[in-house]
């Protein structure tokens, strides 16, 4: 089993930056993809970005390209999401997720493990 715990959420002004972390513990896999999703009140959970744990290949949603950067520290078993130029529409609960899939995944159903989420609020 893989356990994921997000941290780093908070309140930030539009145009500001915030860095989220996701600490992974428990059993790990040689081939795994990890990703970030977010969910605003009354809306479906949506894909933000993902990265392959070993190779570092990454993909991000069009809505965050150029503003958000996903990365990972293999030695620390930690996933990061560096967010900049934040907009009010970026507000929501951000979730870290992991999958055994060996190719990049962009849908909720493709992931096996989820963190509890961390709240990000962007004020205007």
Q: What angle do CA 73, 115, 51 make, to 5 degrees?
A: 40
- Measured CA to CA, the distance from residue 18 to residue 120 in angstroms comes to 9
**Nearest alpha-carbon partner for 91 in 71, 119, 110:** 119
DSSP code, position 65: T
Q: What angle do CA 115, 38, 53 make, to 5 degrees?
A: 55
In order along its 124 residues, the chain shows pLDDT tens digits of 789 999 999 999 999 999 999 999 887 655 589 999 999 999 999 999 999 988 889 999 999 999 999 999 988 989 999 999 999 999 999 999 999 888 889 999 999 999 999 999 999 9
Q: What sign does the dihedral 58-6-77-101 (CA atoms) show? A: negative
């Amino acid at each position: 089993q893989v356990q994921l715990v997000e941290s780093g959420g908070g309140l930030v002004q539009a145009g500001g930056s915030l860095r989220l972390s996701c600490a992974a513990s428990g059993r790990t896999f040689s081939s795994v993809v990890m990703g970030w999703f977010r969910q605003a009140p009354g809306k479906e959970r949506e894909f933000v970005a993902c990265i392959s744990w070993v190779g570092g290949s990454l993909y991000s949603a069009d809505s965050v390209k150029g503003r958000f950067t996903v990365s990972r520290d293999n030695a620390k078993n930690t996933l990061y999401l560096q967010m900049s130029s934040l907009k009010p529409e970026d507000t929501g609960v951000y979730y870290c997720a992991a999958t055994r899939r060996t190719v990049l995944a962009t849908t909720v159903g493709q992931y096996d493990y989820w963190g509890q989420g961390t709240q990000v609020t962007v004020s205007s």
